[in-house]
Amino acid sequence: MWEKARFMNRYYGMQEMYENKQDGEEWNMPKDRDPFYEAPDSKGFLGSAIVFLQPLAYLMDSEETYPIVDFTGEELGELSVQLSPCNSSGKELIGDYVNDPQELIGKNYGFMVKIQTARGLPRRIDKSSCKYRFFDGKEVNTALVSGSSPSYLHEQTFQYKSVSSELADYLLNSNLWITLWGTQRARHSHTQDANRRPSITSTEARRPPRKKKIVKKAKNRDINGESDIKIPRKAKENRETRTNDATIVLKKAKELEEVDLKLAG
């Protein structure tokens, strides 16, 4: 995601390319002017974290972990931020609370913003940094740090010689919007993956696949044509018993046939 100024520059560049194309003019642009080209090391918007400033309105410190949310509302990770009231020399104030933020008006006031670490960022993020602006001050940037759990170790002190009613109201009712910007890891292209694969020669490509020969084992038989496979003893006895029974049945049938012939004669 681009910042507004960057987006508008890209938009006008795209419009110029389109008009040149419609007019039949040369519409290709060099990389430094091409609105569709994005350098690999260019930073893009990752997400934002909203930090509550209300404790500072009562001279109270806070140390919290805030969710980092992208532009679609999906949570990317967490950002650890600490806010600490301090005096003009930068020493933290402990126990000097106020019951009403209006008591700060007209007094010297200072505090420190500490952005410590981010946790759980997606692995696709190579390097990241934070950016924020407090009240009417200038934009503040942290260092660009590598990793999915970067330690920014950022500290920034804000000093006000005389607190205005606008500043007191800002501390009481507003939030600090911290945005995260970063670069992504380069992805390997399919062409590179294809180049890593082993090549196949033309001879191997034309060679048909070999067919597997199926060899059937022939049964071993002896000289008399009988199988030499050993039959279990029990199975052999059962076969002999069935043979004897068949012989007896045939003999009985023959005797009955002879009796029928005698009766018929």
pLDDT tens string 87-99:
877 888 887 899 9
Query: Same domain, yes or no, for 54 and 156?
Result: yes
Token pair recorded at residue 54: 């209300």
Query: Same domain, yes or no, for 69 and 146?
Result: yes
Domain stop point among 133, 156, 184: 184
In Å, how far are 15, 152, 167, 192, 235 from 119, measured between CA atoms? 40, 11, 31, 32, 77
**CATH code for the domain in which residue 63 is found:** 2.60.40
Residue 250 pairs in a beta bridge with: none
Domain membership of residue 157 as a residue range: 44-184
Measure the CA–CA gap between 18 and 27, rounded to whole angstroms. Answer: 7
Q: How many domains does the chain have?
A: 2
pLDDT tens string 1-38:
555 666 677 676 787 777 777 888 777 777 667 766 66
Determine, yes or no, domain membership for 264.
no
Query: Same domain, yes or no, for 6 and 66?
Result: no
Query: Same domain, yes or no, for 14 and 140?
Result: no
What is the overall mean pLDDT for the chain?
78
**What's the average model confidence in pLDDT over 110-128?**
94
Domain stop point among 154, 184, 214: 184
Determine, yes or no, domain membership for 192.
no
Q: Is the pLDDT of residue 211 over 70?
A: no
For the whole model, what pTM was predicted?
0.60
Query: Same domain, yes or no, for 54 and 174?
Result: yes
Going by C-alpha positions, the residue among 100, 127, 114, 139 that lies closest to residue 185 is 127
**What's the average model confidence in pLDDT over 142-151?**
95
Query: Same domain, yes or no, for 33 and 48?
Result: no
